[in-house]
Amino acid sequence: MSEENKKDYSADSIQALEGMEHVRMRPSMYIGDVGVRGLHHLVYEVVDNSIDEALAGHCDTITVTILEGNGIRVRDNGRGIPVGIHKKEGVSALEVVMTKIGAGGKFDKDSYKVSGGLHGVGVSCVNALSIKLIARVHKDGKIYQQEYSQGKPLYDVKVVGETDWTGTEVEFFPDPEIFELLEYNYDTLATRMRELAFLNKGITITLIDEREKDEKGEVKKEVFHSTRGLAEFVEYLDGTRERLISSVISMEGEKNGIPVEVAMVYNTSYSENIHSYVNNINTHEGGTHLSGFRRGLTHTLKKYADESGLLDKLKFDIAGDDFREGLTAIVSVKVQEPQFEGQTKTKLGNREVTSAVSQSVSEMLSSYLEENPNDAKAIVQKVILAAQARHAAKKAREMVQRKNPMGGMGLPGKLADCASKDASASELYLVEGDSAGGTAKQGRDRHFQAIMPLRGKILNVEKAMQHKIFENEEIKNIYTALGVRIGTEEDSKALNMEKLRYHKVIIMCDADVDGSHIQTLILTFFFRYMKEMIENGYIYIATPPLYQVKKGKQSAYAWDDDERDELIKKLKGNGSESSVHVQRYKGLGEMNAEQLWETTMSPDNRTLRQVTIDSATESDRIFSMLMGDEVPPRREFIEQNAKYANIDA
């Protein structure tokens, strides 16, 4: 791209593709859904425009502010959206960008080499789904402004003041007609801003929350900036794991015209964590860039291991995933015209990317292994151990999937199955302890609810080798009850869900510290070994009540302290002094079958929390921190998030 083209970012660089009435009718087609995810997606769309300015070399500072009333302001120091009259549309280019879906410099290849976001769906979509949006452009010493409601301009672009900086400011309030809820989650936005700072080193992203002030009246604020990019990202993700090699292996460069950035490190754990990105979008279904990474890694390490003579005594072949045990890696590519496939359109399909990444990884690893012989030896020894463990795990897995003499899987004896054979209508409750399991069996609706009690705390899979996991009785029972099959030649953890017997798996534990621990152990197992179950939306958490409030024959349940206080006030009535009786449920076993059904299991009354993965990288970091060996970060996390700190003191 010539320098003149870079500079000549004017009204004519903006192309309008189609009208935007459809966005309000079918918002989910554009932003995924109208729940929590879609609400936050609006922010990412606006921020992505600023990131594109940064990728093009015109912006290095972005500020995202959550306003009181759950509005959002995104400000950057880029060139400012063009405000001149657009020849084809006859109005300001700013209005075209804001009101025509698909309008944007992204579609003019001379303006941006690559861009993130939903490929130009962008800010006009946000505008269509906002009750109010104000766009301000600081350019040529003037502030240009236009205001909109539900995507329609309220007046022509006008000059509203003078300025001494250049950039764009977009302030918007999501439309309550569209969204189920309107409250922004600070941590969700912080996770994405941190990720963007790591993926685009050198950019400073500030997140401010004006809704929350401390005793001094100061707002909550975090600044994200990375000088080393992906190498720092890997260090952040692996902060609570024990390192196997001395330093992070990383590279960045261009191969066949495709910018490739890779960072990786080996640790002593047994899990593989590879996260891949295309134009800053997390491709959690993988794709050609991930295939390229795996090919480059396997080929280079196998060649080194063969030549080192360390594999001579091994009696069986090493497989691809042996090279990835204990590996944390991030692969990020920038592709001018990405093609996405897969269920959620997050799998990269561009074939040319495979060899670009594969070559980059091979070159990076070859030189690292030559220059660091001690680390190279440690990696190969880890690979050999992984191969031996995989061999043992294969036998253990076959035991999990053994057939009974009658044909078909032998269901666990502890499972009280449901009558329905329709997986989409069936639910499996994983219940803490035999006594609560017994109550749940009595209280359930046998037609569609199955119960399986779990004895004690299940194995912490974060610290166990694969064959130990498949040998564990409770985990074997979960696999068998679900009817899933595990492991293929290429991927020993791959899950085959064709014969899945339940589309709702509900974790039901006591509302106390032990219950939370068991819940986390079960979730860790699903995240590491059955992630597909979470991704398909099949995993839920039951929420039993914390209190029963009684007065005479009247009684009601409360799920938190505020609700309890409200009920006490209500039952006391007009200042009546008789002390209302409050029972704190410490365990499921304290409820009888009827109470458990009424509060926690009846589809008419219960509250189920669906387990989702908003950010695979952040989930990976939190599980390794919660279930690993490092105590201080875990204590800090629990202190910040604990619900039960005072209850069980």
Give phi and psi for 276, each to the nearest 5.
-125, 150
- In which order are the strands placed within the sheet that holds 258-266? 249-255, 258-266, 327-333, 273-278, 281-282
b (16+ CB within 10 A) / e for 536-548: eebbbbbbbbbbb
**Known active-site residue 514:** yes
Q: Please say whether the beta carbons of 470 and 270 come within 8 A.
A: no
Strands 539-542 and 504-508, by their bridges, are parallel
Q: What share of the chain is helix, strand, coil (3-state, %, to 5)?
A: 40, 25, 40
Give phi and psi for 243, each to the nearest 5.
-75, 145
Among 514, 532, 598, 614, the active-site one is 514
Nearest of 420, 625, 439, 413 to residue 542 by alpha carbon:
439
User: DSSP letter string over 40-52?
Assistant: HHHHHHHHHHHHH
Among 417, 471, 510, 618, the active-site one is 510
H/E stretch holding 190: helix 186-199
User: DSSP letter string over 255-324?
Assistant: ETTEEEEEEEEEBSSS--EEEEEETTEE-TT-BHHHHHHHHHHHHHHHHHHHHHTTTTT-SS---GGGGG
Among 427, 432, 462, 471, the active-site one is 432
Task: Tell me how far apart the alpha carbons of residues 60 and 524 are, in angstroms, rounded to a whole number.
Answer: 38
- Residue 87 CB coordination number (10 Å): 9
Among 48, 232, 322, 512, the active-site one is 512
**Known active-site residue 432:** yes
The answer for 521, left when phi > 0, alpha when psi is -120 to 50, beta otherwise, is alpha
Helix extents (H) in 8-121: 21-25, 27-31, 36-55, 93-99
Local structure of 501: helix, strand or coil: coil
Q: Please say whether the beta carbons of 348 and 339 come within 8 A.
A: yes
Task: Tell me how far apart the alpha carbons of residues 29 and 544 are, in angstroms, rounded to a whole number.
Answer: 35
Side chain identity at 640, as an amino acid letter? Answer: Q
Side chain identity at 349, as an amino acid letter? Answer: G
Q: 300 is written with which tokens?
A: 């280079």
Q: Which residues are catalytic?
A: 432, 510, 512, 514
